[in-house]
Each structure stands twice: as C-alpha cells, then as structure tokens.
A and B are shown apart, each in its own frame.
Chain A
C-alpha cells in the first residue's frame, strides 16, 4: 500500500481520537463546573420540558440569532443546515449497504454543497464589509472560514471538475472502521479534501467550534425559570452555610 494511504489512515485515526477525546474532556469540564446561580435569560421556560424545547429552537432555527441580525442568521443558518445535509450525504461512505433514506438525500446533498459555500461566503463577506464585525475578527476567524470554504470547494471540485474513484474512497473508510486499512486513490484533490477535514476535526475541541457543545451548557439558555419554587445550591456555595453565619 502506498505511503500516502498509510499516512491518511493514521491521520484519520489520530484526528478521530483528538475529536472524540478532546470533546469528551471539554464536555466533562463543562458538566463538572457548577452554575451557582439561576441566570436564565428571561422570559424563560418554567419547566425542564420547556427548556428542552427552547434548546431545540436554538439548535434547529437559531432563534436568538434570528432576532439579532437577519443577514447573519440567513448566512449562518443556510451554512449549518447545508453542512448537516452534506454530512448526511457523506454517510454513504461509512455504511454498506446504503439505506434508502441516504440514497434519497444524495441530490439534495449536492445542492447543499453549493448552499454551504454560499453561506460561508456571506459570513466571510460580513467580516470585511461590516465595520463592527471587521473590528472583532481575529486571524483564526478568517482561517476557520477559509478552512470550511476550502473543504466545500475541494468537495465540489471532485464532483464537477475532476472526479475521484468514490468506490475506492468508500472501501478506504470502511477499511478504517474495520481496522483493516485499504488503499486510498492517489488524487491531489482528494488528499486536499481529506487533509482539510482531518484538520477541522483536530482543531474542533480547541477552537471556537466549541460553540456547538457550549450552547447546551449555557446557563442563560438551559436553566428553567423556577428559582422561587426550587432551591438551587452549588456544592461550593452550600459549604458557606456551615461557616457559622445563621
């Protein structure tokens, strides 16, 4: 097997490990850090079920962002929704046989590739055109958009400009999952695409991509508005009660 295939196999094992372990550690850190006070942004749901619904609306529709800025919402939502479809489309590389529902989404996944690129371009344009957003943008903000756009671009290029041997790509990933690495087609575009995806997986737990798990741990969004009905006490705060004060 070619050195490149071995290299990519190793890269994907490493990237997956970093992503999974890194995220797990971060989530453990968030979950283990107490929220000593009730701080939901009100009006807030008064029940846990209501809170779950609030989070669903945030995740599925970006409710707060919609209220904040229609342009950012439009570009951001289109990008994320398209990315979800693209990921769904790519699941076919990891399952055999391909279920009907995955076969059904294939054409939508291709359209989503373009929508994803368009959404990213819109988000990036804001970083240059809106003076407030320009002021707050760091090099990593630009790089993150460049990385995602390059992933979308190389993917679309393989679909429309220089096709790659997708059957071999699939056997490569099925092989990875079976711990039996198979050769990867020698194709510069494919190398670029996969290398960038691995990079994205590796930076995920160390970057602002932590907004994904962060939302679920955000006290202003995930707390129920019930402080008069339920006493809420963090362990470190409870210890103050035994310090002699009444």
Chain B
C-alpha cells in the first residue's frame, strides 16, 4: 500500500494549485476472474477491449440521456474545478470534475462527434489508448459519485453519471474493480455486502436483544424473517456488528419498541446497500433491488423502512419505484402487485428518520435530551441523501428532518460552516465504492475539506460528536479521523443519539 499522508488543515480553505499526476499512483485492486464472471463480466481484460469499449459507450449514449447531454454540453468554464473534495485534498488536476469527465469526453468526441472525427486536436478529441484506459481505471476510481459538482455546474452536469458509465465500460471489457464487484457477488450469494450468513445474523440479533435488555431492562426485540410484521426494515449490513453502526440499529429497535410498531429484518434482503449504483450497472442495481421486493412480498409487510445508509437511501427513494415498483403511481401489473399489499397511507419507502420524526412530532416517544449532554453535536450531511434524495414532503426535508431529530434528542447542537453542509456538503471521502484499504491515502486526502470544517467547530464550540446517517460515512470517518488528530469515536449515527435519549420504561 502506498504511504498514507494527511494534508495539513488550512485556516482558510482555498483551491490548491494544480499538481499534475499527484495521484497517478492511486489504483484499487482489479477484480479477479471469479468475481468478474459471477456478475457476467469477462474475467480479465479482453483482447478487443478497444472496440468493445467504444461499442459499449455507443450503447450507453443511446440508453442514458444524461451521458449524451453531459458529454456535449460542457463549456470548460471551470465552475466545478474547485468543488471536488478529491481535488481539494490532492491537487491532481484529473480530480477536477471537468477534467475527470474529459477523460471520457475526449474519446466521445473522437468517435461520436463530427468535430472530433474531422479535427481531433482542435476539440481535445483523443483515441482510447491503453494508457488512457488505465487513467480511466485510476481516476474514475477517485470519484465517489457524490454529485457536489452537479450542484454548481450551470448545466447540472453530474460527473457521477460519467463515472458510472466509465465503470460500466471498464467492467464490460474485463477491467472491474475488486472491492465493488466482490461485494455485489456477496449480495447475490449470501444476501448482504459483508457476507454475513442467515444463522450468524440470527445469533447477532439475539446477542443484541440480550445486551439491550441488560442496558434498559426492556424486552426490545430484533426480529428476523417475521411474517406478518408491519414494517420491513432494510438497513446496511454494517449496522449488524460494526461500530458505531450497531448503536443506530439499537436505536431503531428502541423506537419501534416504544412506538409499538411490529417490525422485522429479512435474511433474504439483509442489506440496504446497492453497489450496483456505484458500478453504474442498471441490471445489477435492479437485481439487488428486487430482493427487497421479494422479501416484502414473502413477509407480507405493510411498510418498507430504510436504515441509515446514504447511497441506499438514494436507490430506495429515487430508484426503487422504477426498479422494483416500491412506491406509488405505477399502473402496470408489476407495480400493482406490491401496491395492493403496501399501506398507501405511508410513504413507500420511508426513511427511518422520517418514521422517527413523525413519532416525535406525535409525542409517541419519551426522550430525555439531557442524556446526551456530554455531547456537543454537529451533523454531517451525507452526499447521496443531500443531493440525490429527499425526506418528508418539501424539498430540503433531507436536511431538516435529521437535524430536527438531533435537536429533539440533544441540547447542544452546532452547525458547521455554510458551504460545507446541506446541498454543498463534502463527501466523507469514502463513498462510491472507494471504501477499501488500498485507497486509504486517497480517502484520507479526500476527507480534508470535511475535516477542516469539523476542526473549526471542534476548536470553536467544543464539538465532540459528528452525527451522520450513512454507513459508509461512519466507516470512513472511523478510519480517517485519527489521521487528523480526532478521536475515532467522534462519529456516530443520528439513531445512536436517539438510543441514548429514549426512555424505555416511561409511559408518555
């Protein structure tokens, strides 16, 4: 593994100077034959990779308006050039969103535009050489698909769409990324990203029941595969045993317990995460999403609730209705089957924060905010929740609802600097399928902008807890916080705070 170095925190964050090839050595492990073939991709780089790559690009251009329009519309204005956390943390110019897109735009121009065919040099059109393909692999694996650039682009160009297309093309020619593809294989084989089999999951949940009984004296259940439960909870598998994730799972269970809502997890769909999104593969994303549909039908639940996971909430909120008919408004047999079962009085799917906040507003939870008085809390907006989804009925609910919960369960709350929160939030540095050890240097550097704003509120206001609602954010921060001189336990879930504040034995 390359050396891992954290850049110094700067008192006045400005765009760093361009340092060409600063991250040219960053490269995740390539997926092996077995992992590739399990997903229907070639095992290793095929001989005719060039022609297959161009053909796949043509296919994607026909299937995705986003890709087609985004590759045409860029004027190289530079609005995005200082918006990516990986650029801010590394100075590598290919981490500027526009330059990252240009790695593909050059090939697009060469093969799919008149100008690029006639005057390639003039318009920056390039042939897809092996060196460029390697650059694709390196630099499209330095994009966490966080969409921060798309907020600032005058045409809304979303680099994530280009990155996803690139990863799809790379997979097609047998040049897949190990971390993501191995995980997708595990979802298909075992049911969740971490490869936790059903019996182990059952044991874990029983252990949690005992622990919670000991802590609270209440019989808080963690049900699995319970037919006829009202709620199917789909949560990232990290919630089952990773710290601090599991604290939030205990929080959800306590909320369900106190509100008297029957709920269940599913061993068939024991994972909210959907890495099909990260590799830009519609079929994979759909197949993974269909597990939720199958589990819901099998268990006969009335509601589907999603736990604290950023990209999973994007897929659930924005795509489940499309992929799996989980939602409203579908008038085809496929969608109607599920609508007939799910309770249309509730939003389908519901985010766990929407559910908890509804209960708090109705006074159904007994909360003692003083229990969190040892914490000074700030909230880190996770990219996929902030810029690719919503909660509640009004735009921006994804910002207000988690904050409202945090304020209801704790007394000391501080916002980080404007321009680093809400839709302008910085990615944790580990999203998009980059949460792997061989990319640690990139992850540490990519966390720089968030660490700078955290340092500000930690020093200025004594913030000692950063709440977030994403499993990847939690895992990433737990790993990188120490590189910046913070305690790793500073990060935790919103429902971890709920768990601390909720008073189980008390009656409302």
Residues of A bordering B, CB below 8 Å: 26, 29-30, 33-39, 41-46, 58, 62, 64-65, 67-69, 72, 76, 123, 126, 130-133, 135-141, 143, 203, 206-208, 210-211, 214-215, 217-221, 225, 227-234, 236-238, 240-241, 245-246
Contact = CB atoms under 8 A, between A and B. Distances in A.
B161 A39 contact: yes
B347 A228 contact: yes
A231 to B, nearest CB: 4
20 contacts: A33-B65, A36-B64, A37-B319, A37-B322, A38-B319, A41-B147, A41-B150, A42-B395, A58-B156, A62-B154, A68-B152, A131-B17, A132-B93, A132-B96, A218-B73, A227-B317, A228-B347, A231-B332, A232-B322, A236-B63
A136 B124 CA distance: 10
Given A35-B65, A39-B318, 20 more contacts: A39-B161, A42-B395, A43-B395, A64-B151, A67-B152, A72-B77, A132-B81, A133-B77, A135-B96, A218-B66, A218-B70, A220-B157, A228-B317, A228-B321, A228-B349, A230-B329, A231-B322, A231-B331, A231-B335, A232-B322
Contacts of B317: 227-228
Nearest to B395: A43
A68 B153 contact: yes
Q: Name the residue among A45, A123, A140, A227 with the largest chain B CB count within 10 angstroms.
A: A227
Contacts of B155: 211, 214-215, 218, 221
A210 B112 CA distance: 15
Interface string B65-105: 11011101111111111110000000001001011001000
Contacts, number: 240
Nearest to B19: A131
Given A41-B156, A42-B387, A227-B317, A65 B77 contact: yes
Given A41-B150, A136-B102, A227-B327, A69 B79 contact: yes
A238 B115 CA distance: 35
A87 B469 CA distance: 51
A92 B395 CA distance: 45
Interface of B: 15, 17-18, 61-66, 68-70, 72-83, 93, 96, 98-99, 102, 113-115, 121-124, 147, 150-158, 161, 282-283, 286-287, 290, 293-294, 297, 317-319, 321-322, 325, 327-332, 334-335, 347-349, 386-390, 393-396, 398-399, 423-424
Given A228-B317, A229-B327, A34 B63 contact: yes
B264 to A, nearest CB: 20
9 pairs of A and B residues whose beta carbons are closest in the complex: A214-B73, A68-B152, A231-B330, A43-B395, A68-B79, A220-B156, A138-B124, A221-B156, A133-B78
Contacts of A219: 65-66, 69, 156
Given A46-B395, A241-B334, A132 B18 contact: yes
Contacts of B290: 245-246
A62 B75 CA distance: 14
A68 B61 CA distance: 28
A228 B322 contact: no
A46 B398 CA distance: 14
Contact of A225 (B15, B334, B395, B424): B395
B158 A220 contact: yes
Contact of B74 (A26, A44, A211, A225): A211
Contacts of B395: 42-46, 225
Contacts of B156: 41, 58, 64, 215, 218-221
